[in-house]
């Protein structure tokens, strides 16, 4: 049977600072900046250094577009010309990372849950999912982005991500107040160089 | 064959033995579906696809059972995977046929057999997919030029899926939860160069000997039970405990009445043959 659900919240960089964003055309960049939900690629896979998405991302994208509430547009930070997907033939469903403003995070969580329900049906209990939300928060002049990563049974993704998003509001603070919920087993961090460990970040702020 | 006759055949599969005529049923379904598509009746075409898929699921399941009976375990494993795939494709289109054609039973039993197999490690390739096309319209699947066909939906009586036309192999890993279950790790026989099946199939052998028919009901419950120390006489006091706790034998089960080991209790709808009923299986 699958492990307990795990969520992990870590500081992250803003969408505009990501390598993939710099590679977009002006039109796509503009569309991405105005979107409520943006699918964000990983930077490379093994020897390949370009942007890559998990297998099935195009279908995920169009599901989100079909089901997003009115007023929320869904975009992808990629061009057709260099679009590639990675198929890791491990029986875990990997979903593309979603970048959202804090106010749209609950909508993104509901959309992820709806997609998994549509794709897996009753199989949600026995299927594991790995997904992440990048939540952007603005507090006056300060901007912060946190990454909420989830790995666990598909059936628990909605509750776990919802709690994690709520914990951001409860902290009453932006991204530096990062928390880890669930068992301590860490998720693999694909961007170690870009995200600071939580404790170091807290210590830094105290100074 | 009419649609009613096809449905009667698919319903009767659980009331075996019936004369198996899957090829005739498949041909009749293909003809009916062609007519439905020709007349633009998408609802009927989809309904007929569901029947084709149900037939596939039943056939793969029956084939798996035959392989199990013959002791051809890896072949059975592959057929079980095909059964799982066929049933999964149908699940989102579930209607009354699901119960009528015993797909609920097939799905449950397939998963049960799979859990009893000893395969735990599998090869798993990683791919960078550079190009994909839609199975319905053959147009490239790209984020900004989407054909509109949805994976898993039925168009003109065919399921939509993606065809990967260009890949770069990233690597091959060994995993415990593969997408393709058929990629089982086997040893190689140095003398013949062929596959050497190193697995112990005791947990599969027991129920397959007890079952007479693929649609006889059965269940298995996993518990633990202490087995006598005499069975573990070859294990030294300072060796790891045979219960796999990670402790020394002398500091673990040697203090107890026996060694705690997994125990499987099978329940059958129909009484198995007497020689099977008295059987007791001990895993090494």
Strands (DSSP E) along chain A, which ranges? Answer: 6-12, 37-40, 42-45, 48-54, 74-76, 85-88, 92-94, 97-101, 128-139, 142-153, 180-181
Say yes or no to pLDDT of A174 above 80.
no
Give residues with Cβ within 8 angstroms of A17, minimum separation 6.
Answer: none
Buried b (16+ CB within 10 A) or exposed e, A49-71: ebbbbbbbbbbbbbbbbeebeee
Q: Which whole-number Å values give the CA distances from A132 to A38, A121, A155, in the listed order? A: 12, 21, 15
In a domain, A15, yes or no: yes
Cβ within 8 Å, pair A89-B127? yes
Pairing of strands A42-45, A48-54: antiparallel
d(C-alpha A195, C-alpha A92), whole Å: 24
In a domain, B255, yes or no: yes
Domain that holds residue B151: 122-180
Report chain A residues whose CB lies below 8 A from the CB of B150: 59, 62
CA atoms within 13 A on the CB side of B160: 19
| pLDDT classification of B281: cutoffs 50, 70, 90 | low
d(C-alpha A186, C-alpha A111), whole Å: 25
d(C-alpha B151, C-alpha A25), whole Å: 29
| Domains held by chain B: number | 3
Strand partners, B128: A86, B168
Mean of pLDDT over chain B? 91
How high is the pLDDT of residue A184?
Answer: 33
Mean of pLDDT over chain A? 79
In a domain, B111, yes or no: yes
Whether B67 and B171 map to the same domain: the answer is no
Q: What tens digit of pLDDT does each residue of A117-127 get? A: 988 877 777 78
Residue B249: count of CB within 10 angstroms of its CB: 21
A37 phi-psi bin (left φ>0, alpha ψ -120 to 50, beta other) = beta
Report chain B residues whose CB lies below 8 A from the CB of A78: 143
How high is the pLDDT of residue B278?
Answer: 63
Say yes or no to pLDDT of B225 above 70.
yes
Whether B166 and B95 map to the same domain: the answer is no
d(C-alpha B148, C-alpha B141), whole Å: 9
Cβ within 8 Å, pair B88-A78? no
In a domain, A38, yes or no: yes
Residue A38 at interface with chain B, using a CB cutoff of 8 Å: no
Whether B98 and B154 map to the same domain: the answer is no
Domain stop point among B63, B85, B116 = B116
Q: What tens digit of pLDDT does each residue of B155-178 get? A: 999 999 999 999 988 888 899 888
In a domain, B13, yes or no: yes
Residue B132 at interface with chain A, using a CB cutoff of 8 Å: yes
Pairing of strands A74-76, A6-12: unpaired
Cβ within 8 Å, pair A85-B175? no
| Domains held by chain A: number | 1
Domain stop point among B116, B135, B151 = B116
Q: What tens digit of pLDDT does each residue of B54-104 get? A: 999 999 999 999 999 999 999 999 999 999 999 989 988 888 888 899 999
Give residues with Cβ within 8 angstroms of B234, minimum separation 6.
Answer: none
In a domain, B189, yes or no: no
Whether B209 and B138 map to the same domain: the answer is no
> Residue B59 corresponds to which tokens in the numbers above?
């056939």
Residue A64 at interface with chain B, using a CB cutoff of 8 Å: no
Helix count and strand count (H, E) for chain B: 8, 8
Please, are residues A6 and A47 in contact by the beta-carbon 8 Å criterion? no
Does the structure's ipTM exceed the value 0.85?
no
Please, are residues A25 and A81 in contact by the beta-carbon 8 Å criterion? no
In a domain, A1, yes or no: no
Q: What are phi and psi of B167, to 5 degrees?
A: -135, 155
Q: Where are the alpha helices (DSSP H) in A16-126?
A: 19-22, 26-34, 57-67, 105-120
């Amino acid at each position: 049977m699958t492990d307990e659900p795990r969520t992990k919240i870590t500081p992250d960089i803003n969408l505009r600072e990501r390598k993939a964003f710099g590679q977009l055309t002006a039109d796509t960049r503009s569309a991405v900046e105005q979107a409520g939900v943006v699918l964000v690629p990983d930077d490379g896979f093994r020897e390949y250094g370009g942007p890559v998405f998990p297998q099935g991302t195009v279908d995920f994208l169009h599901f989100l577009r079909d089901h997003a509430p009115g007023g929320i547009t869904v975009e992808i930070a990629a061009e057709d010309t260099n679009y590639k997907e990675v198929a890791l033939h491990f029986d875990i469903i990997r979903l593309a990372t979603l970048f959202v403003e804090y106010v749209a995070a609950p909508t993104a969580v509901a959309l992820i849950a709806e997609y998994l329900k549509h794709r897996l049906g009753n199989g949600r209990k026995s299927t594991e999912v790995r997904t992440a939300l990048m939540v952007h928060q603005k507090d006056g002049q300060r901007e912060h982005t946190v990454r909420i990563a989830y790995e666990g049974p598909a059936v628990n993704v909605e509750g776990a991500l919802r709690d994690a998003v709520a914990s951001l509001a409860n902290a009453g603070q932006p991204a530096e107040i990062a928390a880890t919920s669930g068992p301590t087993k860490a998720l693999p961090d694909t961007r170690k160089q870009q995200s600071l460990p939580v404790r170091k970040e807290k210590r830094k702020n105290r100074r | 064959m009419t649609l009613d006759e096809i449905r009667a055949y698919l319903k009767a599969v659980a009331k075996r033995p019936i004369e198996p005529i899957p090829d005739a049923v498949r041909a009749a379904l293909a003809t009916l579906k062609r007519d439905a598509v020709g007349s633009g009746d998408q609802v009927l075409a989809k309904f007929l696809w569901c029947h084709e898929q149900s037939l596939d699921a039943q056939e793969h399941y029956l084939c798996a059972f035959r392989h199990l009976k013959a002791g051809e375990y890896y072949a059975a494993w592959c057929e079980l995977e095909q059964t799982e795939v066929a049933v999964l494709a149908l699940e989102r289109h579930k209607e009354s046929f699901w119960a009528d054609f015993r797909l609920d039973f097939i799905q449950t039993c397939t998963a049960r057999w799979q859990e009893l197999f000893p395969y735990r490690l599998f090869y798993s390739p990683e791919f960078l997919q550079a190009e994909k096309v839609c199975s319905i319209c053959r147009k490239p699947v790209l984020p900004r030029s989407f054909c509109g066909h949805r994976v898993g939906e039925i168009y003109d009586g065919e399921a939509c899926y993606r065809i990967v036309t260009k890949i770069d192999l990233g690597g091959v890993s060994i995993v415990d939860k593969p997408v393709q279950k058929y990629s089982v790790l086997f040893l190689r026989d140095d003398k013949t160069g062929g596959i050497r099946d190193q697995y112990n199939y005791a947990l599969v052998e027991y129920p397959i000997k007890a079952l007479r028919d693929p649609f006889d009901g059965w269940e298995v419950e996993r518990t633990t039970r202490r087995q006598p120390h005499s069975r573990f006489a070859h294990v030294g006091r300072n060796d790891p405990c045979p219960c796999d706790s990670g402790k020394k034998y002398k500091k673990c089960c040697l203090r107890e009445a026996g060694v705690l080991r997994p125990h499987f209790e099978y329940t059958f709808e129909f009484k198995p043959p007497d020689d099977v009923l008295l059987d007791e299986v001990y895993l090494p």
